[in-house]
Each structure stands twice: as C-alpha cells, then as structure tokens.
C-alpha cells in the first residue's frame, strides 16, 4: 500500500532536516531533473522500440534539441524547478523560464540563467506558443504551501487557461510534469475548486506522497506519480497517513 500524507505532516518531517542545513531543495531538484530526463528519453524513443515501459534504461540520455518550459511560481516548487532547469540547461536542453508570481527563488534563478536557461515574458499568448513548441511543460506554479483554496488566480490562471488547449491537442503535444502536485489541486483532500488546472502526465512528489494525489478528482489530474526520496522516510514512518492506496496508483 502507498501512504498519503498531509502537507503539514511532510513539513513537520522536513523541519529538523532543514534546521540541520540538509539541502532538501537540491535533493528534490535532482530527482525532478531525473524524471524530466526520463520523459524526454521516452518521447525521443522510436515508436518501433518498446524499450522499458518505466523508462529505466532512458534516464541517462535525452535529445540535445529538447525544449522545456518552466512555469515558476513564488514558492519552493518554483525553486525546485529552477535548480532542475539549471541541470538540464547545462546539458544542452533549451530551458525557458516563465515567472507566474510576484517573485522567484533568486538563487535558483541565478543558477538556471548561469547554466544557459533564458527568461520569457509572462504573457498568456506568448506562453501558449512556447508550450506548443515544447517537449515538456513543467508546472511549478503552486505547491503544498498554497492557501486553503488552491485555485489558480490572476496571471497564473490566465497562463494555464491558455496552455490547456495545447496540452489537450493532437500529436505531437508537450508532456506536462507537475512538481509535487498539479497546481490548483488540494494536497490533502484531492479537491479541485477550479477546473483551470494543467492535467499532468507525470507528477514528481517529494519525501512522501501527498494524500490528495491518491484521491479524486486530483488523482485523475496527476498522471503517473513518481516519489523522490529526499530523506523523510524514517520520520514519516512514525506518522499516521491520511489515506492509503494500492501500489498500482503510483
């Protein structure tokens, strides 16, 4: 069974590690970068090559011409995406950064730009065109620290509304990788107060699976869930999960 924890439980498990200076964001970013590489490799594999269904043989490679768009919010999820983008840009991937909030995680932004990523204006029409040309759109707008009502608002909502028809279109289309949870979904109860959400092909979640990823309707928007170990296992094991679900959901 897979255990689903509340956002507060995960924050409680993180607290002593953060206090001790453990670089949890860098760990999360490295895991996110690996999963983006996996998706890029799966997209680039010829249709005649069934390969490994889970992409286990593909994580080491990706096409140099790959294009990734990062939708970056103001919180830690945005920082995770920026550091992951820095890794990918250093390897030759074209990484475009679109800021959807009032600010970004400055150290992560500096790392990404130094590695070769570039910023794009946060204009809905422009971002829609970028998404149409991309291999992957990374949804790092909102995370588990959002308000009790996680619905997207303002510019972030406009951008997601503009991209939704692109990711719902025909082939080829960009794959969506959500960071921790699809933005606009509740991490604890799986509620989705506004339908303006990017359905993810893959959700990369950190430390412990968020309960909302196992509950409808959010579970129907999360795609394949990948759990990245950042060192919280021992502390989470002593907590009562909000929900448990069969392994095939992940």
The verdict on residue 56 lying in a domain is no
The verdict on residue 109 lying in a domain is yes
CATH (domain of 88): 3.40.50.10260
Is residue 27 within 8 A of residue 230, CB to CB? The reply is yes
Is residue 225 within 8 A of residue 209, CB to CB? The reply is yes
The verdict on residue 52 lying in a domain is no
The verdict on residue 194 lying in a domain is yes
**Stated pTM of the model:** 0.90
Q: 246: Cβ–Cβ under 8 A, 6 or more apart, which residues?
A: 1, 2
The verdict on residue 54 lying in a domain is no
The verdict on residue 57 lying in a domain is no
Tell me which residue range forms the domain holding 81.
Answer: 2-45+62-249
Per-residue pLDDT of the chain (250 residues; tens, 9 = 90+): 789 999 999 999 999 999 999 999 999 999 999 999 999 998 776 544 444 444 433 334 445 679 999 999 999 999 999 999 999 999 999 999 999 988 899 999 999 999 999 999 999 999 999 999 999 999 999 988 766 789 999 999 999 999 999 998 767 889 999 999 999 999 999 999 999 999 999 999 999 999 999 999 999 999 999 999 999 988 998 898 888 877 644 4
**Cα separation of 223 and 151, whole Å?**
19
Number of independent structural domains in the chain: 1
The verdict on residue 98 lying in a domain is yes
The verdict on residue 55 lying in a domain is no
């Amino acid at each position: 069974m897979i255990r689903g924890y509340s956002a507060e439980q995960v924050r409680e498990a993180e607290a002593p590690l953060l206090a001790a200076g453990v670089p949890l964001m860098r760990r999360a970013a490295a895991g996110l970068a690996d999963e983006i590489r996996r998706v890029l490799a799966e997209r680039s594999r010829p249709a005649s090559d069934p390969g490994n269904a889970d992409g286990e043989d593909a994580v080491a490679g990706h096409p140099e011409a790959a294009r990734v768009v990062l939708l970056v919010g103001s919180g830690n999820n945005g920082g995770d995406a920026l550091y992951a983008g820095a890794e990918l840009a250093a390897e030759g991937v074209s990484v475009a950064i679109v800021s959807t909030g009032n600010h970004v995680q400055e150290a992560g932004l500096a790392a990404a730009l130094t590695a070769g990523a570039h910023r794009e204006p946060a204009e809905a029409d422009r971002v829609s065109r970028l998404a149409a040309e991309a291999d992957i759109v990374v949804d790092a707008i909102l995370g588990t620290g959002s308000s009790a009502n996680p619905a997207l608002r303002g510019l972030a909502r406009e951008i997601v509304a503009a991209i939704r028809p692109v990711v719902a279109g025909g082939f080829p289309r960009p794959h969506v990788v959500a960071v921790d949870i699809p933005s606009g979904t509740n991490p604890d109860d799986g509620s989705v107060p506004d339908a303006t959400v990017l359905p993810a092909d893959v959700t990369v979640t950190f430390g412990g699976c968020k309960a909302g990823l196992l509950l409808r309707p959010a579970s129907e928007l999360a795609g394949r869930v990948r759990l990245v170990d950042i060192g919280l296992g021992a502390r989470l094991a002593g907590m009562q999960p909000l929900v448990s679900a069969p392994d095939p959901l992940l």
